[in-house]
Amino acid sequence: MIQRKNILFAHDHSIESEHFYKYLIDKGFSPYLIKGGSAEIIYQTSLKRPDLLILYDSPPDIDPHEICKILKGQIETQSILILVLDGKNKKVEKLEAFGLAADAYVSRFSPVEELYASVYSLLSIRELQLRLLESEKFAALGRLADRIAHEFRNPLTVIGGFAYRIKKKHPHDPLCQDYVGRIIKEVNRLERIVNQITEFETPAKESYEFVDLIAILQETAEQFKAVIDSMPGKDINITVPKNDEIPLIRASRQGVKSVFENLFENAIEAIPEGRKGTISVEAGMDVEEGILWMKVRDNGIGIPPEELGKVMDPFYTTKPYRIGLGLTLVYQHIRDLQGRVDIQSEEGKGTTITITLPMVLKAPLPSHDFKT
């Protein structure tokens, strides 16, 4: 099943468009309705940057030729898929319609099942294209990680080793202790960054085993509860599910733990000092869809709308002394398990990150006892 994408639906007040709009909603989509002419459609599409624009040809109010010409002519909007629906039924007119620069053309009088198939096909192809680009990007990062690990580890080991020796040799020199202490601190920070970068080296599938998501989640939550207790100014309550019906998945245990560690770390950092913080995790499954899901919610500062699309990009960060790989690594680990990561956020109110994973056929159920 494709991930539910953002769709703009240019409604022309006809019975056909109303019927198709309701059909998409019944199929689980949430199309944003535009009721206006060409100028309004161009404005809303440029503003919202959807994955797909469904466009009815209804002259003179809606001119697909002008809309496609403008949207496909702008770098910011040229990648947006456009599906044109109109009443042309002559073969010549259909061929001419492709000259509009739309990505697909379907008669508006086609059955809604056929219209839906066109939408599904366009979005599926786009998703495959994006996954291919992402695979190439992460493959390049993996090669970079390997090179960085090779080129940086040995010098850092030498610098850190000599710094410790100097510190030990001059225990009564406060200035020396201060300077060397700073060197050691920065070396340790660089080593942590290198370790994080090398996580891009995807574990071999042979190293996968059946792992218990909830048990690893509880273990990680206990670890971060201890961290929070040692942080002055932080008052954060973490709640995790006690669901022993979630089946095991095949994955790298360390990879799953890294996902939870990065999610908790980001949530804690997003909650400002002085605020009564909450981090809650929910988990469940949809047997009909064949998926497991997990939601991590915080009541932190949230993410501005203009930044939301960048947060999983490698090396993107707004935080000092951070390399910006936390959510990228979450995304990579989940992608390697054929899952997906969705982020919803409201600035000033908090963020919800949803992880969806495919269920493994005949996977065993966990056999653990939860802490109370």
Tell me how many degrees the CA angle 357-144-3 measures, rounded to the nearest 5: 25
CATH architecture label of 7-110 = 3-Layer(aba) Sandwich (3.40)
152 class by beta-carbon count within 10 Å (0-12 exposed, 13-18 middle, 19+ buried): middle
pLDDT of residue 293: 92
pLDDT of residue 2: 47
Instruction: Give 117-131 pLDDT, tens digit per residue.
Output: 989 888 888 777 776
pLDDT of residue 4: 52
pLDDT of residue 142: 66
Tell me how many degrees the CA angle 138-143-148 measures, rounded to the nearest 5: 115
- In the predicted model, is pLDDT for residue 13 greater than 90? no
Instruction: Give 315-351 pLDDT, tens digit per residue.
Output: 667 665 565 667 888 888 888 888 888 888 888 889 9
Instruction: Give 130-187 pLDDT, tens digit per residue.
Output: 766 666 666 666 666 677 776 777 888 889 889 989 989 998 999 999 999 999 888 8
Distance separating alpha carbons of residues 297 and 280, to the nearest angstrom: 5
pLDDT of residue 123: 87
Residue 344 φ/ψ, nearest 5 degrees: -120, 135
pLDDT of residue 281: 92
Identity of residue 279: I
- Report domain extents, the chain: 7-110, 133-200, 205-358
Are 9 and 21 a contacting pair, CB within 8 Å? yes
Name the pairing type of β-strands 235-239 and 249-251: unpaired
Q: Which two tokens stand for residue 121?
A: 């096909």
Strand partners, 8: 32, 53
pLDDT of residue 1: 43
pTM of the model: 0.58
Sign of the Cα torsion 61, 64, 66, 71 reads positive
CATH class assigned to 205-358: alpha beta
pLDDT of residue 92: 43
Task: Give the number of other Cβ atoms within 10 Å of residue 363's Cβ.
Answer: 14
353: pLDDT confidence band, cut at 50, 70 and 90?
very high
Instruction: Give 87-124 pLDDT, tens digit per residue.
Output: 655 444 444 545 557 788 888 888 989 999 989 888 88
